[in-house]
Structures are given as C-alpha cells and as structure tokens.
Amino acid sequence: MKLSLGFSPCPNDTFIFDALVNHKIDTEGLTFDVVLEDVQTLNQWALEAKLAVSKISYGVLPLVMQQYLVLNSGGALGLGVGPLLIAKTKQANWEHTMQQATVAIPGQNTTAYLLFSLAFPNTAKPIFMKFNEIEDAVLEGKVDCGVIIHENRFTYQAKGLQKLIDLGSYWEEKLKIPIPLGGIIVNRNLPIALSKKIDALIKKSVNYAFANYPQLSSYVSDNAQEMSESVMRQHIDLYVNNYSLHLGHAGKAAVLKLLEVYGQLQPTIKPSQAPIFIEE
C-alpha cells in the first residue's frame, strides 16, 4: 500500500524519516510517495487535506483538526528549541518600537508566528516569507527584524545579525512547558489500525536513526541545502529528542496548551472539539 507523505528537507526531518522512506527498516508492506517541501507549503497543503501523512507546524493544527489526527512520533518539541527574533542591530528600548516594525515571519500558520504573536500581540506589520530568505531580508533592510527557525539559529551571528529575543525562552518562562514546534499528522479517513502502524513505523525509523548517529546518511546530507556537517548535527541535536520518539504526557499537555493560547490570540476561530491525538 502506498501513502503520500510530506516533510521538510531539513536535517531533523530527513534524519527521522530516512529509515522509513528508504526501507532501512521493515515497513510492513507500506511504501510512501514522498514530497519534500518547506513547512509553510506543508501547512497550506494540510489546510487542503492534500496528503495522507504530513509534518506541520503546530501553529496550523487548530485549523486542520477536523481532517487530521496527531501522531505520537516524529515531531519536534522540547526546551531551548524555539525561534529567535533577530535584527541588524540591537538598539536600546527596541521593544517599544515593535508596533511600527516590519517583521519577516516564516509563514502565516507557523508555530513561529504564534510564539511571536504571544510575545508581541500588537505588531501590525508581519511580512510572510520562506524561512531561508529571512536573514538576507534583514541584512538588506527589506524588513526591520525577522523571526528565524531551523538552521538559521546557527548561522545568523556569523552574518553579523543580533538576537533581540529568544521567543522559545519567552514561551518557556511564561508557561513553564516545552515548545511544540512541529508534529506529524495523519488523515482521519485512514483506518485507525493503519494510522497506528504508521505511528509505530515512524518511531522505529527514529530509533534506527539514533542507533546509527552521529553518522549522517546520504539522505540527510544530500537534502541539507549545502549545510556543513557540524550545522547538520547541531540541527539534529536541537530538534530530535525523546519527544520525537513519543510525545508522552508532557508533550501532549504542551500541544493542548498551545491550542489554548491559539484560542486566546484568535478568539473568532473555534477549533474542532474532536479527539486530537491518535489512540494509544
């Protein structure tokens, strides 16, 4: 049986899914039609219910819960993993100018935008672009500041950019829980037994990747967009952890808190009351 599967070309995702999509583990009769896309494209496709299984930003989850369930395995969640707000310079009292600032955001329905909105609810000038365009947009003065994610956390300082605030730390200090960045969802139309099998296979794939780490497979390096091996490993070390194996009670509680925060920030949008997570 073949299923559509979408995730990003970033090292954390290719690290997680390598063994599954390249049959390094027994996939129990399943094969996958894989598409590698940036997270905002995957978020948009989730809104359209385009794929059977997909990585998404948890920021879009409230809008897709009627079509999808969240799997236990394969996601990115943890402490110290959040997006950063950066600028060319860090001026005194910069917080007071944020209402007028133009801010580059890596997608409208991303967790990064939700975390930014939590910290700066009155900023009126977000500009949405792909995550890997944000550093240059700040450097070239196209925007006043930008929210960076993924490997840009490890490259912005070398380009002379300054951190204004760690939005992940803001979340952690305010709410005292891990940050749910991205999760894996499965279409509710699939039989529950099949969805559970997919969940279990993703966990096997993560375990396989951990067992062979720090070796990097060609699948990871070939899709890493000219990243150095050290940055690839930093990326994996930051975003792939025990929560990637299984959300667990703490991970699910963090996702539910994010949905609560979303409801406070977007009171006109009422998320589905259907079950959110795949059955254990």
- Per residue in 206-251, pLDDT tens? 999 999 999 999 999 999 977 889 989 999 999 999 999 999 999 9
Report whether 84 contacts 165 (CB < 8 A).
yes
Q: What is the pLDDT of residue 272?
A: 63
Domain finish residue from 146, 175, 204 = 175
* CATH number for the domain harbouring residue 152: 3.40.190.10
Report the distance separating Cα 151 and Cα 13, nearest Å: 12
Contact 11, 232 (CB under 8 A): yes
277 is written with which tokens?
Answer: 């997570």
Query: Are residues 70 and 187 located together in one domain of the fold?
Result: yes
Any domain includes 42: yes
Q: Do 202 and 146 reside in the same domain of the chain? A: no
Shared-domain flag, residues 149 and 105:
yes
Number of domains in the chain: 2
Question: Is residue 133 domain-shared with residue 212, that is, in the same domain?
Answer: no
Q: Which of 175, 210, 235 is the last residue of a domain?
A: 175
Report the largest interatomic distance among the alpha carbons of the chain, rounded to a whole angstrom: 59
Calpha distance 164→171 (Å, rounded): 15
Assess if residue 31 is contained within a domain.
yes
pLDDT tier at 273, thresholds 50, 70, 90: low
| pLDDT tens digits along 84-109 | 999 999 887 888 888 889 999 999 89
Q: Which of 159, 175, 191 is the last residue of a domain?
A: 175
Residue 58 sits in which domain range? Answer: 2-78+179-265
Q: Answer yes or no: do 62 and 201 share one domain.
A: yes
- Does 164 lie in the same domain as 187? no
CA atoms lying within 13 Å on the CB side of residue 193: 1
Only one residue has tokens 């409801």, namely 263
Shared-domain flag, residues 93 and 205: no
Same domain membership, residue 88 and residue 11: no
Active-site annotation holder among 150, 235, 246, 249: 150
249 catalytic? Reply is: no
Nearest to 181 by CA among 80, 90, 252, 75: 75
277 in a domain, yes or no? Answer: no
- For residue 270, tell me if it sits in a domain: no
Contact 118, 171 (CB under 8 A): yes
pLDDT computed for residue 271 by the predictor: 60
Q: For residues 119 and 51, is the Cβ–Cβ distance under 8 A?
A: no
| Residue 66 located in a structural domain | yes
Structure tokens at 167: 């939005």
Among residues 125, 75, 79, 72, the alpha carbon closest in space to that of 98 is found at 125
On whether residue 16 sits in a domain, the answer given is yes
Burial classification of residue 270, based on how many CB atoms lie within 10 Å of its CB (0-12 exposed, 13-18 middle, 19 or more buried): exposed
pTM confidence score: 0.91
Nearest to 196 by CA among 81, 70, 111, 78: 70
Chain mean pLDDT for the chain:
92
Task: Please give the Cα distance from 167 to 242 (Å, whole number).
Answer: 22
Contact 145, 85 (CB under 8 A): yes
Select from 259, 272, 220 the least CA-distant residue to 11. Answer: 220
Q: Helices 111-119 and 248-265 sit at what angle, rounded to 10 degrees?
A: 60
| 88 and 53 within one domain | no
Q: Give domain status of residue 230, yes or no.
A: yes
**Same domain membership, residue 193 and residue 258:** yes
